[in-house]
Chain A
Amino acid sequence: MRQQLRRPALRASPANHTALVSLPRLDDVVIPPPPPTRLIPTASKQKFLELYSTTVGNRKKKRKRSSGGDDSQQQLVAAAAASGTDDKLDDDEEERKQPSDDASWIMPTDTKIALEMMCAQFPKIEKASVRPFVLRTQLYSSVRDRTLVDRELEVLRQQQVVRTFKLSTGQDDYAIMFMADYLSQIEAAKKRLDLKESLLRELEVFHWFVGQVIPSCLDVGISHSHLLSLLSQGGSVKDSHVSLLMNAGLLVRQLVDETAYWFSIPNVGFLLKSISSGRKELLSFLSRRRYKEMLQAPLERHALRYSQLGLRFHLRDLLGLGQLHVVPSPSGPLIRVVHD
């Protein structure tokens, strides 16, 4: 009878404590995640890519999931993670999904709720396909405290949930767009560019832009040298790549400084004209009236001639700018032009 030789176990276990002790493998050591801190976490590039990498393909699914109930950030994260791994279900993804909804649900801030509400009310325009965006002045008119809006917006920007753009309509005009919307807008802009066959290779610069530039540079503008250094992390960058980005509408040259660019929303030029002419029209409409005021309910039914964006959009904008104010009256809120 042959005795079965017992092979010595390679790993130390309680059963064979006399066996050769080998170093534990790295997978075995589980470091528990640190407790969620109250400080604002900086969103790392890894997290950004993992959240938004498959945004474009699964937009519809994500919208269906996140439209109901409260749009907390964690639910959005869970939805993105779930939709992103539809084809390849890993065990880790499943595990990560479950504890995230209940354990660390963060109460959405006033600013975030206002942003979502206004994005949902964004008017549908046939001519220009632009994802919903909100002007900063509109936020000021919706949320009571301006300093709070500024600070919460800064936090949302650092977490890369929203993106801010400086518009060319005035000195202090900013547009705020959700990151997912912005990325889908970039994809749409990329498809709209019809290029010759030889230049199709240059389309990889969009991938570099989304992968390297957007998560690293959170400001409204970027200098040429910084842009090149970030793009070159994706591959060898040439000037034709930068001009391709400018043609797509993602970058606009700064008038003040020749070597710097503003980030911009692609295909938004038509709406900028609409914003400034709509503002002027609404203000002149109210100023022409006898007492420079009108009740809000009939005012909202009036249609603007030079703007596609709807009267409510411009009303909120002018309220935030401080050129109109709301006076409560027995027949409802009254909109009056501020005179100094």
Chain B
Amino acid sequence: MLRRLKRRELGATPPRSVATHVRGKRVRSIELASHKEIVSAHNSGINSLQIDGSEARYLLAGASDGSVGVYDTQQATTFDSITHTAKHEALFTVDKSVPQGHMYSVSSVQWYPVDTGLFVTGSFDNNINLWDTNTLQVEQQFRMPGKVYAVAMSAMATTHMLVASGTEDVRVRLCDLASGAFTHTLSGHRDGVWAVQWSAASEWVLISGGCDGAIRFWDIRQAGCFQVLDQNRSQLGRRPPIVKSVPGATASVSGSSRGESLRVHRQGEQQHSRLNTPPPIRRKFRAKDFEAQRQHPGMVSTLDKATAHYGSVTALQTTDDGLYLFSAGTDSRVRLWDMQSGCNTLVNYEATRIRTHQGTQLAVSSDSSLLFVASAHSIQAYDVWTGHLHSKLSGHYDTVNCCAFHVNDQELYSGSSDRQILVWAPPAHTPLEDLDEKTKEGGALFVKDEDAWSD
């Protein structure tokens, strides 16, 4: 480490590479933090966690009893000198005692992307609330037709402040915070929508994943979705697709000799001409094909029945660079998609047990090297590009529901049904003022065994 710093000082290595190296090493050494603890103020399981994007300081947590709490991750409220743990208690909590507060479980929370003065929460009581952080009151309430499963706001939006909501209803609704009205209704899913995410590359692109297993990309400036991810369209790795499965038409087949290719081409033409003459099939199906052409161009995408998972899509997560998308499904698969080509990169993340009755959250480290998946009672960290299990973080006593990655400190916060929020961080070095109490022996530090319960 010191040699690396010396080389940076001399100009031999660029400073950015030293920073990425240090961050990467810290991310890979994440374990249950002994120097930091969050004291959960909730009496029920935690469903959703989010760290604000503006300062990366405040953690917002939504729980199953309708309470929402905010914690400061940088400044501790108390310091336990015996165990040397910094305890972070909740700065405040809001629950059903506040007028217009949530009556049932809060499923999804998000900070307002610009600053931490507002936050948005969605709950099973069919409401989306906009809260003011300083007065702790509900500023606006949007009534949805069904239970709200996911809310999302775009982190890079400069021209709009729309909240996308995924509900029990098949349509994705966009609510405008400035006017208090619903601006968009996006139709295309055939079942409830469990995960909604804005793209990190464009402020106009919204990604939604539903119970029907489809992942749809919507450009909110035009009608209909412009892409539906299909798990059968795949590419081998990060490069553009080498082989594409083309349904039906064989005219684009590579022929080995000119004669053969001519023959194939002619056969392709023959097929096309045969398709034009209506085959004797039942009237009902023929009428449906014609109806597709008479529909609104925005509704044509509803006919595309490609699925990304063979069950429901439970979580979506984009990488910070906006190039890749992770999706988790109830078929216990996590898939990595190349957003530009819309292909499945066929990376296999081993043995995940994702909870199947509700949506979860995935977390990815900021340099896209590790993916954290909440599975059963632990969090599994996978290497993103190879799919190997890097480490398994066990510490919770019940199902882990959500996880959030802290970008600046390379820490992971996880919430579970055992009412705890655990902090996972790289091992911290002991502060210098305590060194005279400890003995150093061959580089290892020995700490006097002073715990809270023995005398």
> Taking beta carbons and an 8 Å cutoff, which residues of A are in contact with B?
26, 31, 33-34, 39-42, 44-46, 140, 145-147, 149-151, 154-155, 158, 166, 171-172, 216-220, 223-226, 228-230, 232-233, 236-239, 256-257, 260, 321-322, 340
* Contact present for B376 and A146 (CB under 8 Å): no
Cα A171 to Cα B307 in complex, Å, equals 14
* Contact present for A154 and B264 (CB under 8 Å): no
A-B complex: 3 closest residue pairs judged by Cβ atoms: A322-B351, A232-B279, A146-B348
* Contact present for B378 and A340 (CB under 8 Å): yes
Secondary structure of the B side of the interface?
Answer: loop
Q: Is residue B9 within 8 Å, beta carbon to beta carbon, of the partner chain?
A: no
* Contact present for A340 and B348 (CB under 8 Å): no
Q: Is residue B290 within 8 Å, beta carbon to beta carbon, of the partner chain?
A: no
* Contact present for A147 and B260 (CB under 8 Å): no
Q: What is the CB-to-nearest-CB distance from A254 to chain B, in angstroms, rounded to a whole number?
A: 10
> Taking beta carbons and an 8 Å cutoff, which residues of B are in contact with A?
212, 232, 234, 236-237, 242-243, 245, 247-248, 250, 253-260, 263-264, 267, 271, 274-275, 279-282, 285, 288-289, 305, 310-311, 330-333, 346-348, 350-351, 353, 376-378, 386-388
**Known interface pairs A33-B257, A171-B310; A229-B350 also in contact (CB < 8 Å):** no
**Known interface pairs A147-B346, A155-B236, A236-B280; A217-B247 also in contact (CB < 8 Å):** yes
* Contact present for A145 and B245 (CB under 8 Å): no
Q: Which A residues touch B285, using CB under 8 A? A: 224-225, 228
Cα A146 to Cα B350 in complex, Å, equals 7
Q: Which of B271, B288, B333 has the most CB of A within 10 A?
A: B271
Q: Which B residues touch A229, using CB under 8 A? A: 248, 275, 279
Of A40, A46, A172, A217, the residue contacting B263 (CB under 8 A) is A46
A to B contact number (C-beta, < 8 Å): 110
Of A150, A223, A237, A321, the residue contacting B281 (CB under 8 A) is A237
Q: What is the CB-to-nearest-CB distance from B378 to chain A, in angstroms, rounded to a whole number?
A: 7
Report 18 cross-chain contacts, Cβ distance below 8 Å, ordered by A residue. A44-B253, A45-B250, A45-B253, A147-B348, A151-B237, A154-B236, A166-B310, A225-B288, A225-B289, A228-B281, A232-B274, A232-B281, A236-B280, A238-B280, A257-B305, A260-B305, A321-B351, A322-B350
Of B253, B260, B282, B305, the residue contacting A42 (CB under 8 A) is B253
Cα A147 to Cα B238 in complex, Å, equals 13
Q: Which B residues touch A228, using CB under 8 A? A: 279, 281, 285
* Contact present for A216 and B247 (CB under 8 Å): yes
Q: Which B residues touch A340, using CB under 8 A? A: 353, 376-378
New A-B contacts (20) at CB < 8 Å, excluding given A147-B386, A155-B243, A225-B285: A31-B257, A39-B243, A40-B243, A41-B254, A44-B255, A44-B264, A45-B250, A45-B253, A45-B264, A46-B260, A46-B264, A146-B387, A147-B346, A147-B387, A154-B234, A219-B245, A228-B285, A236-B279, A322-B350, A322-B351
Cα A46 to Cα B257 in complex, Å, equals 13
Cα A172 to Cα B353 in complex, Å, equals 12
* Contact present for B274 and A172 (CB under 8 Å): no
Cα A230 to Cα B212 in complex, Å, equals 26
* Contact present for B248 and A216 (CB under 8 Å): yes
* Contact present for B232 and A219 (CB under 8 Å): yes
* Contact present for A216 and B250 (CB under 8 Å): yes
Q: What is the CB-to-nearest-CB distance from B9 to chain A, in angstroms, rounded to a whole number?
A: 40
**Known interface pairs A147-B346, A154-B346, A340-B353; A226-B248 also in contact (CB < 8 Å):** yes
Q: What is the CB-to-nearest-CB distance from A78 to chain B, in angstroms, rounded to a whole number?
A: 16
Cα A236 to Cα B274 in complex, Å, equals 11
Q: Which A residues touch B333, using CB under 8 A? A: 172
Of B232, B250, B280, B330, the residue contacting A171 (CB under 8 A) is B330
Q: Which of B257, B258, B281, B387 has the most CB of A within 10 A?
A: B281
Of B242, B250, B377, the residue contacting A39 (CB under 8 A) is B242
Cα A256 to Cα B288 in complex, Å, equals 19
* Contact present for A237 and B279 (CB under 8 Å): yes
Q: Which A residues touch B243, using CB under 8 A? A: 39-40, 42, 155, 158
Of A150, A171, A217, A232, the residue contacting B346 (CB under 8 A) is A150
Q: Which residue of B lies closest to A45 (CB)?
A: B250
Cα A155 to Cα B89 in complex, Å, equals 54
**Known interface pairs A42-B253, A232-B281, A236-B280; A150-B348 also in contact (CB < 8 Å):** yes
Q: Which residue of A lies closest to B289 (CB)?
A: A225
Q: Which residue of B lies closest to A33 (CB)?
A: B256
Cα A322 to Cα B275 in complex, Å, equals 47
Cα A340 to Cα B398 in complex, Å, equals 11
Q: Which residue of B lies closest to A238 (CB)?
A: B280
Q: What is the CB-to-nearest-CB distance from B355 to chain A, in angstroms, rounded to a whole number?
A: 13
Q: What is the CB-to-nearest-CB distance from B377 to chain A, in angstroms, rounded to a whole number?
A: 6
Of B271, B305, B331, the residue contacting A223 (CB under 8 A) is B305
Q: Which A residues touch B378, using CB under 8 A? A: 340
Q: What is the CB-to-nearest-CB distance from B285 to chain A, in angstroms, rounded to a whole number?
A: 6
